[in-house]
């Protein structure tokens, strides 16, 4: 039999099977796929309550067939698996782990992050990444407009605010981590730099219940419906998200070679002026933001696949409800019930 | 050690000026000694919240209910207000040598205005003593072998601490004889509870949640009659009692039924007593403190889940 490794599943319906009682038939099924059938367990789950959060020292299971993962431990005397952190129980096949409730983002080298400038100093900016400490972006780690490669002089230091000033949003990569845990960023790529033409969204970053997870692609372009055109989505690993209108640059970033960098960095990279954005595009940006918020509220991971599926599901929901986009606006509103339906549809689509 | 770096306030006490005419009229009544109105086994309500300090990896705020009888906004006795922040696990400085376990550092500091006696900014012996007690209480629950080469700082600030005296007199109601006042015991209990909540909030691996609890043997008032003139009270407020004979604070792990910390002070006997169900005074004190501690466990769990 081929071994299939299923992705970890947050127990969003509410619960984990606490080893409520003696060994149940529930755990006897040895096949790896047994966790997908939720039906026979519904009655049992209801007993544990809607929010299945375990606290340190609490017993998760006493069945010895489970393996213990992160956030758990067991004593030598019994086979019980106990939690060591407060969080939700996760199962990956036979592996039980506890995912902590609240974990702040800790920067790691190579992370793609979205940040906000909070402070301008003489030779560097201080950037908020929702990490415990502010990150720094040295003046020497950015591209100069026009792509000139040279030493940064005092002239550059004097006009530091023409590149980034307080409150500006930027996309950057973590270049190094200092010994005290602060991160140093760089924007020396055509993919990175100042952000405009869009909206900012802050969700919980890597580690928390639902939120942005590290994945292969954190930035992609989505072609939207309803005449919205192309929209860029940037999922920062730190939980900051940027959704913006896709602007076609004169030279495609992918074809730019590092040796001819100077020719490709246009003079407008540090512009704070938004382009014209059509109402349809604005509406679809709002819809995407609503989709991501709904995913987070329902404790689902935020990545390219889930965002795309949630977006498609919300479009379908609209066509089901016959939302008239000419007169009746507000179809992109995804509060409460609508959000849940979109997430449920997206999850169903991703399983299929 | 004298503090030469700051402009310190006056060392002696100062009296706030009272303007409220109602209060001036009934001043003597409103500053009279508070009396314990709850049952001997009843705890004061506590307030506990996590995540108050955004820059820390974990934090908690702990507060004990005010004495019910206060007039004109004038509290009769001080309560307990504690904030705790947890920083880490974070890398140790380069200069430090290799450790296979996480290094735990606890710091307890009274705010200068925490008690009727003003505190300095430099840590004094009482604060260091509390920090050591707190460290022993927490050390047992943290799985420090999971975080080699790192350090964990637990910083506690006591915003309001319980005095043995009630606020007016400034005199101790009982003879602490130059020793640590009994109020320190309930402060330690609060520190343990707050620190363990903050540690859980920081997501650090623990074998269990440790909670603090206090019990005391107090002299009964003359009116009450019984074969013993001592009474066991949980969660004592020192200013409410004429004389505390003995007091005990524990750090208790509920799920494992273990103690990480016991601190007992006073005059207690080890011989079994007839009055308290064949238990010795020591046993009944510890049991009482454990009972108080396990009640706080539920509060911690619910505050974490919020």
Q: What is the CATH number of the domain that holds B49?
A: 3.30.230.70
Q: Is the ipTM of this complex over 0.90?
A: no
Residues of chain A with CATH 2.40.50.100: 10-100
Q: Quick one: average pLDDT of A185-211? A: 80
Are residues B207 and A84, on separate chains, in Cβ contact within 8 Å? yes
Q: Which of residues 123-182 of B touch A (CB under 8 A)?
A: 141, 143
For chain B, say whether A350 makes contact (Cβ under 8 Å).
no
Are residues A101 and B56, on separate chains, in Cβ contact within 8 Å? no
> Looking at the 3D structure of chain B, how many domains does it have?
1
**Bridge partner list, A127:** A117, A135
pLDDT at A312 over 70: yes
Query: What distance lies between CA B188 and its chain's CA centroid?
Result: 4
Q: How far is A101 from A30, CA to CA, in rounded Å?
A: 30
Distance from CA of A317 to the nearest CA of B (A): 32
pLDDT score recorded for residue A139: 93
pLDDT bucket at B121, cuts 50 / 70 / 90: confident
**Most confident listed range (A255-259, A330-334, B65-69):** B65-69
List, for residues A112-153, the tens digit of each pLDDT value: 999 999 999 999 999 998 887 789 999 999 988 877 788 888
pLDDT score recorded for residue B170: 44
Residues of chain A with CATH 2.40.50.140: 102-195+259-275
**Position B10 in a domain:** no
Q: Which of B124-133, B137-146, B177-186 has the lowest mean pLDDT?
A: B177-186
Are residues A86 and B255, on separate chains, in Cβ contact within 8 Å? no
Are residues B203 and A100, on separate chains, in Cβ contact within 8 Å? yes
Distance from CA of A71 to the nearest CA of B (A): 7
**Position B1 in a domain:** no
Q: Report yes or no on whether pTM surpasses 0.80.
A: no
For chain B, say whether A78 makes contact (Cβ under 8 Å).
no
**Position B139 in a domain:** yes
pLDDT score recorded for residue A261: 54
Q: What is the CATH number of domain A10-100?
A: 2.40.50.100
Q: With contacts defined as CB-CB under 8 Å, which chain B residues touch A132?
A: 55-57
Nearest to A58 among B143, B203, B255 (CB): B255
Are residues A82 and B204, on separate chains, in Cβ contact within 8 Å? no
pLDDT at B179 over 80: no
CA-nearest residue to A58 within chain B is B255
Residue B140 domain boundaries: 38-305
**Position B279 in a domain:** yes
Quote the mean pLDDT of chain A.
Answer: 77
Are residues B305 and A84, on separate chains, in Cβ contact within 8 Å? no
* Strands in B199-280 per DSSP E: 210-219, 230-234, 244-253, 258-266
Alpha-helical runs (H) found in chain B: 21-25, 27-30, 125-139, 183-201, 281-305
Q: How far is B62 from A44, CA to CA, in rounded Å?
A: 36
**Position B15 in a domain:** no
Nearest to A104 among B57, B205, B209 (CB): B57
pLDDT bucket at A61, cuts 50 / 70 / 90: confident
**Position B151 in a domain:** yes
More confident residue, A191 or A173: A173
Q: How far is B45 from B35, CA to CA, in rounded Å?
A: 17
Are residues A132 and B305, on separate chains, in Cβ contact within 8 Å? no
**Position B181 in a domain:** yes
pLDDT at B104 over 80: yes
Q: Quick one: average pLDDT of A246-250? A: 73
Nearest CA-CA partner of A3 in A33, A28, A35, A27: A33
pLDDT score recorded for residue A241: 93
Are B215 and B41 spatial neighbours (Cβ–Cβ below 8 Å)?
no
For chain A, say whether B56 makes contact (Cβ under 8 Å).
yes
Task: Count the alpha carbons within 13 Å of A316 in the hemisphere toward its beta carbon.
Answer: 14
Q: With contacts defined as CB-CB under 8 Å, which chain A residues touch B56?
A: 132
Are residues A100 and B91, on separate chains, in Cβ contact within 8 Å? no
pLDDT score recorded for residue A146: 75
Sequence-distant (6+) residues with CB within 8 A of B214 are B185, B186, B189, B234, B235, B236, B247, B248, B249, B289, B292
Are A262 and A143 spatial neighbours (Cβ–Cβ below 8 Å)?
no
Are residues B304 and A58, on separate chains, in Cβ contact within 8 Å? no
Mutation for B interface: A55, A80, A88, A179, most B CBs within 10 A: A55
**How many residues can be counted in chain B?**
306
Domain A102-195+259-275 bears CATH identifier 3.40.109.10:
no
Q: How far is A302 from A35, CA to CA, in rounded Å?
A: 22
Q: With contacts defined as CB-CB under 8 Å, which chain B residues touch A56?
A: 141, 200, 205-209
């Amino acid at each position: 039999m081929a071994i299939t490794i299923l992705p970890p599943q947050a127990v969003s319906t509410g619960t984990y099977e606490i080893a409520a009682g003696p060994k149940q038939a529930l755990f006897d099924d040895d096949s790896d796929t047994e966790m997908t059938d939720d039906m026979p367990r519904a009655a049992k789950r209801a007993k544990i309550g809607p929010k299945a959060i375990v606290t340190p020292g609490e017993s998760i299971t006493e069945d010895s067939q489970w393996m213990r993962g992160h956030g758990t431990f067991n004593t030598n005397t019994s086979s019980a698996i106990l939690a060591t952190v407060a969080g939700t129980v996760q199962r990956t096949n036979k592996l039980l782990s506890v995912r902590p409730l609240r974990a702040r983002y800790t920067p790691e080298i190579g992370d793609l992050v979205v940040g906000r400038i909070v402070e301008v100093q003489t030779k560097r900016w201080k950037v908020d990444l929702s990490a415990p400490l502010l990150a720094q972006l040295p003046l020497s780690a950015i591209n100069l407009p026009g792509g000139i490669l040279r030493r940064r002089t005092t002239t550059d230091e004097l006009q530091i605010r023409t590149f980034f000033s307080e409150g500006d949003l930027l996309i950057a990569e973590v270049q190094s981590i200092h010994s005290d845990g602060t991160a140093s960023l760089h924007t020396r790529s055509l993919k990175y730099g100042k952000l405009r033409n869009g909206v900012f969204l802050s969700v919980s970053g890597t580690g928390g219940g639902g939120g942005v997870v590290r994945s292969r692609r954190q930035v992609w372009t989505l072609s939207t419906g309803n005449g919205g055109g192309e929209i860029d989505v940037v999922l920062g690993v730190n939980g900051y998200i940027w959704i913006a209108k896709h602007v076609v640059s004169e030279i495609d970033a992918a074809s730019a070679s590092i040796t001819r960098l100077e020719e490709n960095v246009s003079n407008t990279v540090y512009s704070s002026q938004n382009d014209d954005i059509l109402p349809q595009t604005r509406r679809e940006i709002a819809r995407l933001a609503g989709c991501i918020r709904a995913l987070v509220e329902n404790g689902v991971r935020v990545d390219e696949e889930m965002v795309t599926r949630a977006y498609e599901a919300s479009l379908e929901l609209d066509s089901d409800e016959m939302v008239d986009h000419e007169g009746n606006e507000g179809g992109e509103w995804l509060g409460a019930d609508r959000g849940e339906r979109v997430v449920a549809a997206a999850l169903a689509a991703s399983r299929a | 050690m004298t503090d030469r770096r700051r402009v310190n306030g006056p060392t002696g006490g100062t009296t706030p000026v009272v303007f409220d005419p109602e209060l001036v009229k009934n001043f003597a009544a409103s500053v009279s000694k508070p009396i314990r109105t709850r049952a001997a086994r009843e705890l004061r309500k506590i307030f506990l919240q996590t995540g108050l300090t955004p820059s820390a990896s974990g934090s908690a705020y702990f507060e004990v209910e005010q004495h019910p009888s206060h007039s004109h906004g004038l509290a009769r006795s001080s309560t307990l207000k504690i904030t705790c922040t947890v920083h880490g696990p974070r890398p140790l400085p380069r200069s430090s040598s290799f450790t296979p376990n996480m290094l735990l550092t606890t710091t307890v500091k009274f705010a200068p205005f925490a008690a009727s006696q003003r505190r300095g900014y430099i840590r004094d012996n009482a604060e260091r003593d509390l920090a050591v007690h707190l460290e022993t209480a927490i050390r047992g629950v943290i799985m420090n072998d999971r975080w080699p080469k790192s350090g964990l700082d637990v910083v506690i600030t006591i915003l309001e601490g319980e005095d043995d005296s009630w606020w007016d007199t400034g005199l101790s109601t009982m003879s602490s004889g130059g020793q640590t006042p009994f109020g320190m015991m309930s402060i330690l209990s609060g520190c343990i509870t707050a620190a363990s909540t903050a540690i859980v909030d920081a997501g650090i691996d623990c074998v269990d949640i440790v909670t603090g609890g206090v019990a005391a043997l107090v002299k009964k008032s003359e009116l009450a009659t019984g074969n013993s003139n001592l009474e066991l009270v949980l969660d004592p407020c020192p200013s409410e009692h004429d004389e505390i004979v003995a007091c005990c604070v524990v750090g208790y792990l509920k799920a494992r039924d273990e103690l990480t910390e016991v601190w007992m002070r006073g005059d207690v006997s080890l011989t079994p007593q007839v009055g308290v169900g064949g238990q010795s005074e020591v046993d009944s004190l510890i049991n009482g403190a454990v009972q108080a501690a396990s009640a706080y466990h539920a509060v911690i769990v619910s505050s974490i889940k919020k």
